[in-house]
Amino acid sequence: MRTLMIEPLTKEAFAPFGDVIETDGSDHFMINNGSTMRFHRLATVETATPDDKAIISIFRADALDMPLTVRMLERHPLGSQAFIPLLGNPFLIVVAPLGDAPVSGLVRAFVSNGRQGINYHRGVWHHPVLTIEKRDDFLVVDRSGTGNNCDEHFFEEDERLILAPHQ
């Protein structure tokens, strides 16, 4: 099994998979009579049809044992999905490029600095949320509507990957 090397999360490195939601280096302007800085259009919510709705949820995630064997990835073909950490803790992100099925050799892993969120583009393969802390909360922006919006791909045993513990 190949061990996934964990990369720092940057806008450039993550661009093929989605958006990094962060204030560092992002466009902003003042609002509310100069008392508030608005960091504008950090990500775009994607939906498949005009009847779909963007919704906001909170996910409470428990940490998985490390090292983790990556056995599966999922994708949301009908909408984007954003994760914004609420408690300021770093978290792990495992992704693969768009395609009919993820290719094990193209899977990448990133770590957020705890002040960065991510927005998976519609159809991008990714692992379900991976918290480093024992338990963590995330604000999630995704799609609600008709149709199946979650495809899962389970890797054959010889395609599985190891995600080493984050240092």
Going residue by residue through the chain, which has 167 residues, state the pLDDT in tens, using 9 for 90 and above: 899 999 999 999 999 999 999 999 999 999 999 999 999 999 999 999 999 999 999 999 999 999 999 999 999 999 999 999 999 999 999 999 999 999 999 999 999 999 999 999 999 999 999 999 999 999 999 999 999 999 999 999 999 999 987 76
**Domain edges within the chain:** 2-46+53-163
pTM of the model: 0.94
Convert the chain into a string of H (helix), E (strand) and C (coil). Answer: CEEECEEECCHHHHCCCEEEECCCCCCEEEECCCCEEEECCCCCCCECCCCCEEEEEEEEEECCCCCEEECEEEECCCECEEEEECCCCCEEEEEECCCCCCCHHHCEEEECCCCCEEEECCCCEECCCEECCCEEEEEEEEEECCCCCCEEEECCHHHCEEECCCC
Quickly name the fold that domain 2-46+53-163 has.
Jelly Rolls (2.60.120)
Distance in angstroms (rounded) separating the CA atoms of residues 110 and 127: 11
Relative to beta strand 72-75, strand 161-163 is unpaired
